[in-house]
Structure 1
Amino acid sequence: MRKRSIAFKLGLYFSLALLAFALVAGSVFFLLFKKQNITLTQKQLEDRAAAIADTFGTFISAEGSGSGKHGEASHGSGAGNGSGNGMGYAAYIRFLDDIAMADVWVVDADHNLVTPTTHEGHQAPAPTYNYADLPADAETVVDQAFGGQVTASEGFSGLLNTPTLTVGAPVRDSSGNVQAVVLLHSPVEGIESAANEGFRTLAISLCVALVIGIGFAVLLARSFTKPMKEMQVIAGRLAGGDYTAASHIERQDEIGQLAGSLDTLSHQLKLSSEEHERFQKMQQTFFSNISHELKTPVTVLCGSLEALTGGVVTDPDQVAAYHQEMYAESLALKRLVNDLLDLSRLQNAEFRLNMERVNLCDIISEVRRSAQNMAKEKELTVTTEMDTGLYFMQGDYLRLRQLLMIAMSNAIKFSPRGGQIEMCLSENILTISDHGCGISAEEQKHIFERFYKTLSEENAEGTGLGLPIAKEIAERHGIGLTVTSEEGQGTTVTLELPGRETATV
């Protein structure tokens, strides 16, 4: 099945909408135009009929005043063209018919119908009509006109065999009495032809406007689809791994928002790719370090065991020294394995801590005693300052102790000989500060990442897992852990503790 572009569909939809609008607007305009033409024609006919009625009223009054001299013409017959007065009416009607540019009929008070005749031989014979021939609608017009109203109807169309608009107007004498009715007929063909001509003009105008509108619709559709095609190319580049791709489309609409989201996605993918690459490098470095850490003690252990089992070393003092070295290397292996296991457990969401009500002050005191023993070799001073002796909270005693020991071990490791380390608990803030070499701003961004460790001499025995483990323990307890440091000035580890529980007796 052939695929159709959005531009084609939009252009088609816009064109159909314009076409529908043109048809509706044209139809409405044609109907209104035709109705307006009929209304105007009717109004003109009514004005002309009223004027003719006034003129005919004057004629009737004059005829009435001269009836003594023309008594022989004072009575018309009931026929269509009549005689006597009918002949006078007919001649006068022919005159009015010529100047009115419409057919003029008269119905007198006796309901005799007088129409233009050809008795004088000026025209071809005209059809003869009687009042009895009038349809019901036509009689209604006559009756309303005798009632003093000016009315209009198309009821004479069947009688005249052509679409006709007829207006009836009352003819009043000098006393204001209705003596007759003037019927003014005008063919509707002129109105229809004018309306049709107007419709043709409108149709041509709408066609031209439609062609122009379709052109604009196509341009508008392309303006919509152009940025979409650009975003399609960007999406293809992203799918291919090119995370530097960006649309740079700036529009204040939904398309602009979509382009912005695509650019944001590209940027995030680029950052994720860089993070992944950096993580892989760190992981490779870690495995390299772990391999080295494992290789060294394993080599020492193997060499020592070979010397002992092969009888190369038999002196009791040397044998004891070999045993001591093997023990030290086994402790290093144990420490490395334990760190890996701890981090793996803490990162497992299903691993449950032994949560209970503990006194943090007891843990701080125990860590201080352990740290003092560790600090003796470097002649360090460890001090503690607590604003309370009781700080109860929910936690895992051993894991909280491990968290504080990691921070304290790092402080001891990076402190100069004879330095000082301070632990301070104030309200819900616990800080551990040293005055060692500090950490650079660049390194501070990565200290909580797995496998990351500084390459300084003081950290030669580190595995790069201590602070990640501390971070996991802190998060499990709802403790905020931050590290602030300045090179050459020292480092401070800050623990923002959850609110203390009320002591119970």
Structure 2
Amino acid sequence: MKIQTKITATYVVFELLIVASLGTFTSMRMESYFKERLLDELSRQADLVYYILEKDTTNSFPQIDQQVKLIGGLEHLRITLIRGDGNVLADSDIPLPELTGVKNHLDRPEIQGALQHEVGYDIRRSATVDHDYLYMAKRIRPLTNRTGFASLQFIRLSVPLEDVQNQINRIRSMVIVVGLGVLLVIVAVSVIISRRITKSMVQIARGVEQIRSGDLDVPLVISSNDEIGLVAKAVNELVQKLKSDIVQLKKLEQVRSQFLGNVSHELRTPIFAVQGYLETLLGGAVDDPSVNRSFLEKAQSNLGRLNVLLEDLINISQIESGEMKMSLRYFRLNEFLESVTKDHEPLAAARGVTLTLALQTSNEDEAFGDKDRLRQVFNNLISNALNYNTPGGSVNVVSQKTDRGVHVRIQDTGVGIPAEHISRIFERFYRVDNNRSRSLGGTGLGLAIVKHIVEAHGSRIQVESKTGEGSTFYFDLKSS
């Protein structure tokens, strides 16, 4: 069943119950109201009859009976005069000669009620005249001044309920007609409201179906600010996030493909070189003393390069997967930098580059970090500064104390980095000069490893460079 049908049916059933309840309540109240008014009117008329009988000086019983009939006809009432023993003295609807055949009325409910409470009433079908009547009996003071009426104790008035019931039925009919009209209006309003409510829900359902089928370019346009609008907004945000995730996955897939291609290429180069040298040696060059040693040395060099590449691949894999273990602790910065710089003095001498250490921190200053991982960082940065330098150039390792910790930088007077390459030099396998990088034994992963290690220390590696003037790499470390 559709939601619109459910909402409409709920409204209709609910309002039908309300209309039926109100109709029943109104009918019962109207019936009670008419009966109360009728009883009040009958009580006043009983008092009037009593007053007339008390003031009338006529002593003829037939004349009194005729007077009772006259009053009943004028007031459209049935008047019955009843003695204390329950026998009827006079009745406006029964001829005087026939009164002897009328049953005793002492056991009638209205008479019993009058005996107990002065006024009693009852509704029943009259066996005498065969009509439904409302009977009201009132106990009176005896008329001691009237001959033959000293035993009179009850004046009973009765009216046929046909007119009253007809009026009540007309009111009930009006209530039913009005109720049906209200119900029709409610049904129409319920249909309109349910359509307005479900219209947005239908749009959401269709939109979700389009999303499920793969169409993510059609947003849900719901202008309401209610819960349905919030659902539509949430679905649109979910779709946008899904589209973003898809774009990111595609980028990751592209990066993965590029990475695999780069790895394959980087591995293939030294492997093919070693394979070529070995095949040449096995082909007879092993017995040629002019080339055999040279080929073996070149094969060994390529195997060393392959080993470095594999180590860098393992490092970058551990870093990016979060498996890299960091052993963070405080250490003497000056002592550490002196050791790292000393390790690179042979390479600096081989390149004809001056390597200096400018320590503006004290021997007691400590930095917070993983010494082994930071050694990888400085090894990469210093070796790059030496390898991409010019004979007679210089590399300066500087440390400074700052408010936030310690600042370190590696400055060189090398070839520099063109501005268009600076934003990408920390990408994996990215090289500014492919030929020179490979000839120097670079794997293309060094600066990517540097970037990840420095970021793992809560810092950020930055670079400033000008072509032909040199480069400066710098970052900060926490200190004690």
Q: TM-score, with normalisation over the residues of structure 1?
A: 0.72
Question: Counterpart in 2 of 1:31?
Answer: 24
1:463 maps to which residue? 443
1:343 aligns with 2:320: no
Give the secondary structure class of the aligned counterpart of 2:461.
strand
Correspondence for 1:197: 173
**Aligned CA distance change for structure 1 residues 452 and 162 (closer, same or farther; 3 Å):** farther
2: CA distance between counterparts of 1:206 and 1:459?
A: 91
CA contact (8 A) 1:386 1:426 kept: no
Task: Classify the secondary structure of the residue corresponding to 1:481.
Answer: coil
SS of aligned partner of 2:66: helix
Distance verdict in 2 for CA 1:251–1:26, change over 3 Å:
closer
In structure 2, how many angstroms separate the alpha carbons of the residues matched to 1:232 and 1:330? 57
Aligned to 2:147: none
> Quick one: distance in 1 between partners of 2:184 and 2:386?
89
- Distance 1:234-1:440 versus aligned 2 partners, 3 A rule: farther
Cα 1:292/1:33, change in 2 over 3 Å? closer
Query: 2: distance between equivalents of 1:180 and 1:375?
Result: 140
Query: Does residue 232 of the first structure (1) align with residue 204 of the second (2)?
Result: no
- 1:191 is displaced (CA, Å) by 5.1
Is 1:380–1:419's contact at 8 Å kept on the other side of the alignment? yes
The residue aligned with 1:51 is: 44
Give 1:406 deviation, angstroms.
3.8
Q: What are the superposed Cα offsets for residues 171-197 of structure 1, whole Å, 9 maximum, x if unpaired?
A: 67999xx96434343415335523431
| d(CA) in 2 for partners of 1:298, 1:27 | 93
Deviations 1:411-435 (A, max 9, x none): 6667784354434454764444356
| Conserved? CA contact 1:52–1:96, under 8 Å | no
- What is the Cα deviation at residue 207 of structure 1? 4.5
Q: What's the secondary structure of 2:2's corresponding residue?
A: helix
Q: Give 3-state SS (helix, strand or coil) of 2:220's partner.
A: coil
Instruction: Tell me if the contact between 1:282 and 1:452 (Cα under 8 Å) persists in the aligned partners.
Output: no
C-alpha distance in 2 between matches for 1:413 and 1:253: 66
Q: Partner of 2:459 in structure 1? A: 481
Structure 1 residues 166 and 443 mapped into 2: Cα distance closer, same or farther (>3 Å)? farther
The CA deviation at 1:302 is: 4.1
Distance 1:111 1:453, change over 3 A: same
Q: 2:111 pairs with 129, 139, 155, which one?
A: 139
User: Could you tell me which residue of structure 1 aligns to residue 13 of structure 2?
Assistant: 20
How far residue 457 of structure 1 moved from its aligned partner, in angstroms, is 6.1
Check 1:48–1:428 CA distance in 2 against 1; reply closer, same or farther (3 A cut). Answer: same
The answer to whether 1:185 aligns with 2:159 is: yes
Q: CA deviation at 1:273?
A: 3.0
The letter of the residue matching 2:236 is D
Question: Is structure 2 residue 127 aligned with structure 1 residue 154?
Answer: no
* CA offsets 1:331-390 (integer angstroms, 9 cap, x no match): 3222111111223344566x6848486625244443333355555534454434335625
Q: 1:266 aligns with which of 227, 239, 244?
A: 239
Cα distance in structure 2, aligned partners of 1:435 and 1:249 = 59
Question: Aligned with 2:240: secondary structure?
Answer: helix
Is 1:411–1:433's contact at 8 Å kept on the other side of the alignment?
no
Partner of 1:494: 475
Q: Which amino acid aligns with 1:337?
A: L
Q: Paired residues, what number? A: 454
Mapped partners of 1:26, 1:425: distance in 2: 86
Write the letter of the residue equivalent to 2:360. Answer: E
Residue type matched to 1:138 in 2? E
Amino acid at match of 1:18: Y
The Cα shift of 1:227 comes to 1.8
Partner of 2:73 in structure 1?
Answer: 98
Give 1:41 deviation, angstroms: 1.0
Question: Are residues 274 and 323 of structure 1, via their aligned partners in 2, closer, same or farther at CA, if it must alter by over 3 Å?
Answer: same
Output aligned runs, 1:425-464, within 5 Å: 426=402, 429-434=405-410, 437=416, 444=423, 451=428, 453-456=430-433, 460-461=437-438, 462-464=442-444
C-alpha distance in 2, partners of 1:290/1:117?
A: 123
Q: Structure 2: where are the runs of 5+ without partners?
A: 145-151
State the shift of 1:61 in Å: 2.5
Contact kept, 8 Å, 1:45 with 1:167, in 2: the verdict is no
Match among 337, 340, 351 for residue 367 of structure 1 = 340
C-alpha contact 1:371 1:408 (8 A) present in aligned 2: yes
Look up the match of 1:41: 34
Deviation at 1:403?
A: 3.9
| Gap runs ≥5 in structure 1 | 1-7, 74-83, 501-505
C-alpha displacement at 1:243, in angstroms?
4.5
1:411/1:421 contact within 8 Å kept: no
Q: Give me the whole-angstrom Cα distance separating, in 2, the residues matched to 1:278 and 1:308.
A: 45
* Partner AA of 1:12 in structure 2: T
Contact kept, 8 Å, 1:440 with 1:486, in 2: the verdict is no
Shift of 1:212: 1.4
Q: Is the 8 A contact 2:328 2:370 kept in 1?
A: yes
User: Cα deviation per residue 1:302-334 (whole Å; 9 max; x = unaligned)?
Assistant: 444455553499565x66655554443333222
Q: Tell me by how many angstroms 1:164 deviates.
A: 4.1
Contact 1:474/1:480 (<8 A) preserved? yes
- Structure 1 residues 55 and 255, CA gap change in structure 2 (3 angstroms): closer
Provide the C-alpha distance between the structure 2 equivalents of 1:364 and 1:304, rounded to a whole number of angstroms.
40
> What is the distance in 1 between the residues matched to 2:421 and 2:208?
38
How far the C-alpha of 1:158 sits from its partner, in A, is 6.9
User: Residue 432 of structure 2 aligns to which amino acid in structure 1?
Assistant: L
| Residue in 2 that maps onto 1:5 | none
Is the Cα contact below 8 Å between 2:286 and 2:292 reproduced in 1? no
Letter in 2 for 1:96: I
Inter-CA distance 312–22: structure 2 relative to 1 (3 Å threshold): closer
Structure 1 residues 51 and 368, CA, compared in 2 at 3 Å: closer, same or farther?
A: same
